[in-house]
Amino acid sequence: MPRTFPVSLADAYPQLVALWHPDRNGSLTPDRVGTGGGRAWWRCPAGHEWEETVISRRSLPKWKGGDVAACRECTGFKVRRVFPECGCVKMVQPGTREAEHDRCYPCRTREFEQNAPRIKAELAAAAKAAAGRAEQLLDTVPLPEALPAGLAVEWRYWAAGEVRGAVAAEQVLVKPGEAERALARVRAEAERSIPTLEACAAAAARDGVVKILGRAYWAEGWRYLLSGEPRERIGAEHLAVFRGHLEGWLEDWAQHVCEEREAGRRVPTTTAEVTAALTEEIRDFLRSLDDGAMVYGEMRLPVVPEGKTRYGRLDLVGWSPSPVIPDFVVEIDSAPNPSSLQKLQFVRDAGAVPLWVRFATGRVEEVAGVGVIDIREAVRTATDG
């Protein structure tokens, strides 16, 4: 059989020839295997046997001490352990968590997969029951004085989930100390969760998103809140132009829906279906504003609408990498919504383009500095005929 490699293992590493298992490698021999060969069986002079790739065997990690032919067991880097519960024999590294388990990792994995539905249900039930305990634990965590009130509420929601899960893990998975570790994490996160003006400004220029507590926030909104300095406010003439472009885009969509309905095809009829269809159309509109535009849905902003306890979310945010193109924010409502108005007024004050799409029912009034788009009649004609 001709060689398919330039140098054999025997030529490159003659010291490994003595380790080549004489009985468990079939017809393969060190002079018929390259230095990049696959898995093979090995046996050291002390009689220890193991399977390992050729590349791994010829490598020189620290535990080998410079000896390419070193044996893991002979050096004490790994020991052969019989796991008492499952009876499996595996090589483990002394002092690791794997060396302390009563069952080997593959058996634990199989057991978890078999019992996963039951375990998940027990964890969910335990986490729900731990709500009171989690709140008590969180009451012991001091919050930074500089933490904004709205962000403190968001932190509490996030931290409660972390602590409830930890308490459930202690009870169901028998993991002692999980609650204390969770408290340490959420305590540290309270300190880190306050965004800096520099980080928000950089995020506003990078992609428009700043991450806080693992959630996406409108970076330009945070930059404005922290600095008090908006981008240059959109003039009434420019706002009217943007409003007109989106209104024309949506009227074209409504006409297309009408044609589809007349052709006997199914069209959106319920409020939820119309909202979803409008959302996709507006996404396309925002993407058309710039080649590198990004469009985000349900992005949080640092505004707590009246009557609410948590920060509001923006239906759609369009961001452009061009510094001369402001962010576009669009709220979509089937009826008057005071929360949307409060959010859009903040967007206006931050120097972005606020657009409010209204369809279905309720009065539609003009709002200073907000582009209000009334497509009630167009949507009614398109969907109801």
For residue range 190-236, what is the model confidence (pLDDT) as tens digits? 988 999 999 999 999 999 999 999 999 999 999 999 999 988 888 99
- Residue 384 binned pLDDT confidence (cut-offs 50, 70, 90): confident
The answer to whether 355 and 246 have CB atoms below 8 angstroms apart is: yes
In this structure, the answer to whether residues 272 and 245 fall within a common structural domain is yes
User: Each residue of 291-313: pLDDT tens digit?
Assistant: 999 999 999 999 999 999 999 99
In this structure, the answer to whether residues 250 and 341 fall within a common structural domain is yes
Write the DSSP string, 12-61: H-GGGGGGB-SSSSTT--GGGSBTT--EEEEE-TT--EEEEEHHHHH---
In this structure, the answer to whether residues 259 and 366 fall within a common structural domain is yes
**Reduced to 3 states, what is the DSSP secondary structure of residue 71?**
coil
pLDDT at position 107 over 50 = yes
**Reduced to 3 states, what is the DSSP secondary structure of residue 142?**
coil
DSSP secondary structure letter of residue 308 = -
345 found inside a domain:
yes
- Residue 82 tokens, joined: 């019989």
Largest CA distance in the chain: 89
In this structure, the answer to whether residues 2 and 139 fall within a common structural domain is no
- CA 316, CA 339: separation in Å to the nearest integer? 15
pLDDT at position 5 over 90 = no
- CA 343, CA 305: separation in Å to the nearest integer? 7
In this structure, the answer to whether residues 297 and 356 fall within a common structural domain is yes
Give the pLDDT confidence score for residue 112 in this predicted structure.
84
- CA 80, CA 174: separation in Å to the nearest integer? 27
Q: Which range of residues forms the domain containing residue 37?
A: 1-73
Give the pLDDT confidence score for residue 358 in this predicted structure.
97
Give the pLDDT confidence score for residue 286 in this predicted structure.
97
The terminus-to-terminus CA distance of the chain in angstroms comes to: 79
User: Each residue of 26-58: pLDDT tens digit?
Assistant: 999 999 999 988 999 999 999 999 999 999 999
Residue (of 307, 301, 278) closest to 348 by Cα position: 301
- Residue 2 binned pLDDT confidence (cut-offs 50, 70, 90): low
In this structure, the answer to whether residues 185 and 244 fall within a common structural domain is no
Give the pLDDT confidence score for residue 171 in this predicted structure.
94
171 found inside a domain:
yes
In this structure, the answer to whether residues 249 and 312 fall within a common structural domain is yes
Number of domains in the chain: 4
Average pLDDT rounded to a whole number, residues 103-108:
92
335 found inside a domain:
yes
Give the pLDDT confidence score for residue 4 in this predicted structure.
57
Handedness of CA 207, 213, 215, 220 (dihedral sign): negative
pLDDT at position 147 over 50 = yes
More confident residue, 97 or 135: 135
pLDDT at position 3 over 70 = no
206 found inside a domain:
yes
pLDDT at position 354 over 60 = yes
- CA 132, CA 375: separation in Å to the nearest integer? 47
* Number of helical H runs and strand E runs in the chain: 13, 11
In this structure, the answer to whether residues 213 and 342 fall within a common structural domain is no
- Residue 383 binned pLDDT confidence (cut-offs 50, 70, 90): confident
364 found inside a domain:
yes
CATH code assigned at 361 = 3.40.1350
Average pLDDT rounded to a whole number, residues 285-293:
94
pLDDT at position 119 over 80 = yes
Phi, psi of 51 (to 5 degrees): -110, 135
306 found inside a domain:
yes
In this structure, the answer to whether residues 254 and 380 fall within a common structural domain is yes
In this structure, the answer to whether residues 177 and 202 fall within a common structural domain is no
125 found inside a domain:
no
pLDDT at position 351 over 50 = yes
pLDDT at position 385 over 70 = no
Give the pLDDT confidence score for residue 6 in this predicted structure.
78
pLDDT at position 353 over 50 = yes
- Residue 1 binned pLDDT confidence (cut-offs 50, 70, 90): very low
In this structure, the answer to whether residues 156 and 203 fall within a common structural domain is no
The answer to whether 36 and 55 have CB atoms below 8 angstroms apart is: yes
The answer to whether 156 and 311 have CB atoms below 8 angstroms apart is: no
- CA 330, CA 342: separation in Å to the nearest integer? 13
Give the pLDDT confidence score for residue 272 in this predicted structure.
96
Mean confidence (pLDDT) of the chain: 93
In this structure, the answer to whether residues 51 and 166 fall within a common structural domain is no
321 found inside a domain:
yes
